[in-house]
Amino acid sequence: MGDALDWAAGTEPGSYRFEHGKRLFEQASTHFNLGVSRELAEAHHGLKDATKKLSVATAVLAAVTVALAVADVWKLVHQGAP
């Protein structure tokens, strides 16, 4: 992008060098934006997968907590209070 700026520097708008430098800058900018968009899409999919896994892990931990509570109550009922 710096080359495009150097190429167009000191020229008048509408001149060949200015317009060519402008096109080079726009192409470089578009290429950069496409790369950033791809990276953001990959990050979004990664975060989406991680969120699903955390949701499953949370549900498993909740089920284990409930099972432990039921076992504790069962023990208290059948053995009596200490």
Does the predicted model carry a pTM greater than 0.85? no
Q: With 70 as the cut, is the pLDDT of residue 7 above it?
A: no
Q: With 90 as the cut, is the pLDDT of residue 49 above it?
A: yes
52 touches 38 (CB < 8 A): no
Query: Which pLDDT band holds residue 58 (cuts at 50, 70, 90)?
Result: very high
Question: What's the rounded mean pLDDT across residues 6-33?
Answer: 81
Instruction: Output helix, strand, coil percentages for the chain, rounded to the nearest 5.
Output: 85, 0, 15
